[in-house]
Structure 1
Amino acid sequence: MARIHPTAIVDPAAELDDDVDVGAYSLVGPQVRVGAGTRIGPHCVIEGRTTIGRNNRIFQFCSLGAVPQDKKYAGEPCELIIGDGNTVREFCTFNIGTPGGGGVTRVGDDNWIMAYVHLAHDCRVGSHTIFANNAQLAGHVEVGDWVILGGFTVVHQFVRLGAHSMTAMCSLLFADVPPFVMTQGQPARARSMNFEGLRRRGFSSERIAAVKAMHKALFREGLTLEQAVDRIAALPQRFPEAAADAALMRDFLAATPADRGIVR
């Protein structure tokens, strides 16, 4: 049997693995499913169509699976899906999706999410990310793998952050952040590439040199976005090890809406 504190309220219809802890005064609703090894702290509310994977640590006072803060939402069967191995610190709020955004708010694996983080409806967060305290995501935001958000970062709805990108504290994002880019400011601007993070993740010197070349094409040489994309597409000829990195950047830029653009 799951280890449920006597003061917690767990609906009989909820599906909890035998190896789940539920802390004091927490509330778990009837459509919630929780995988093995997950620990739910005291005073949490987990409701709605919420699926939580294995070996997550959810600290006290979190609200997961509440209806979206969207006036158009009319009770449709939307979901929150959280993967495995995530840490969710105090006072975080993750909402379910909406019909207009695909119906699912999704969080991947091995994310480190600090206190007071908000994930609005239909956000999609990858894996291995770090969100510092009070990072705030509006609806439909997409966050790639290995992204780091500095404390008090605020992200406008529909903005995308590419893999390995990073924001400084108090960044305000209105435009897409390409992969590898470091941003800072209100509104945020591109400052450099996340070279130290890439080194820590085992990027070779050749791959880092290719990322430097991407930085020059996008931000240092006065090229249009179309010209920069052409320059990046040719990089594998000089840096064969970085073919996947160049493709990642090229594909991200190709999907950037013209009316939003990227941080420059």
Structure 2
Amino acid sequence: MNQPLAYVHPGAKIAKNVVIEPFTTINNNVVIGEGSWIGSNVTIMEGARIGKNVNIFPGAVISAIPQDKKFDDEDTVTIIGDNTTIRECVTINRGTSDRMKTQIGQNCWIMAYSHIAHDCIVGDHCIFSNNSTLAGHIVVGDYVVLAGMAAVQQFCTIGSHAFVTGGSLVRKDVPPYVKAGREPLSYVGINSIGLRRRGFTTEKIREIQDIYRILYQKNYNNTQAVNIIEAEMEATPERDEILQFIRNSQRGIMKGYFTTN
């Protein structure tokens, strides 16, 4: 770790086998776990809590203060989970008084030029392609994939195993297990390829498809669809996760592809 051309504040807690490349700045009140690699010209600001075996590439800025005029220098943090990779020029801001943290899960891959704003909570095994942008207060489930240049509006929620196509503008909540595309963003099917890759059986994928046919392809409103799904579909963890997501949605879920509003 002894890199004479990097600046590491004496108050930072850095594990012994962390590699820090030249021209990087690590501020006070930072923790970096074992086996992590910090590339050159990275800036890690106060409040960063970086796990084990994290790779951060040149130009990234981690735990900068929020781009939020209401921020009043609260003592907040940015948490990066183990085995996560953060590519070039990614910016991740720390939390505000809303959640007191911004958090990225384990085994995530955040590609170049992506931005994750204050108070976002990102699950495990997520992939954000180049120039993905999350505004503040967003919740993203596990195994979510955002294709390049996707932009998510503040306070939205994206369910686990969802896939959002490139260039999408996410203004409504995206339920679990689906593919989201078109403009305005709409349901275009379930994420069957991703589910197969993660070991979902053909029967389980059919079950999820049947649920979303009722929700999106039978001309029911959301309340009607939820009642029918609950009455007619066998209770499973996936069914219950989808129903709970719809019921808990604050912004409303995205529309089906056949609707115009």
Give runs of aligned pairs for residues 40-59 of structure 1, distance below 5 A.
40-59=38-57
Q: Give, in angstroms, the shift of residue 185 of structure 1.
A: 2.6
Per-residue CA deviations over 1:211-248 (Å, capped at 9, x if unaligned) read 111220111001111122123324652xx6xx111111
Q: Give, in angstroms, the shift of residue 47 of structure 1.
A: 0.6
Question: CA 1:223 to 1:91, structure 2 compared with 1: closer, same or farther past 3 Å?
Answer: same
Q: Give, in angstroms, the shift of residue 114 of structure 1.
A: 0.5
Q: Secondary structure at the match of 1:190?
A: strand
Tell me what 1:138 maps to. Answer: 135
The residue identity in structure 1 corresponding to 2:196 is R
- Listed as ranges, the gaps of 5+ residues in structure 2 are 256-261
Q: Secondary structure at the match of 1:4?
A: coil
Distance 2:225 2:18 in 1: 50
Tell me what 1:208 maps to. Answer: 205
Give runs of aligned pairs for residues 23-34 of structure 1, distance below 5 A.
23-34=21-32
Structure 1 runs of 4+ with >4 Å offset: none
TM-score (normalizing by structure 1): 0.94
Tell me what 1:20 maps to. Answer: 18
Identical-pair percentage: 38
> Is the contact between residue 170 and residue 186 of structure 1 (CA under 8 Å) also seen in structure 2?
no
Tell me what 2:185 maps to. Answer: 188
Tell me what 1:226 maps to. Answer: 223
Tell me what 1:91 maps to. Answer: 89
Distance 1:232 1:35 in 2: 45
Between stretches 159-168 and 183-192, larger displacement belongs to 183-192
Distance 1:263 1:164 in 2: 16
The residue identity in structure 2 corresponding to 1:51 is R
The residue identity in structure 1 corresponding to 2:74 is E
Question: CA 1:85 to 1:70, structure 2 compared with 1: closer, same or farther past 3 Å?
Answer: same
- Listed as ranges, the gaps of 5+ residues in structure 1 are none
Give the length in aligned residue pairs: 255
Tell me what 2:172 maps to. Answer: 175
Per-residue CA deviations over 1:157-192 (Å, capped at 9, x if unaligned) read 000000000111100010000001111133311111
TM-score (normalizing by structure 2): 0.95
Per-residue CA deviations over 1:12-68 (Å, capped at 9, x if unaligned) read 110000110111100001100000011000000001111000001110100000000
Question: CA 1:73 to 1:102, structure 2 compared with 1: closer, same or farther past 3 Å?
Answer: same
- 1:252 counterpart (239, 242, 245): 245
- 1:77 counterpart (75, 78, 88): 75
Distance 1:16 1:187 in 2: 45
Tell me what 2:152 maps to. Answer: 155
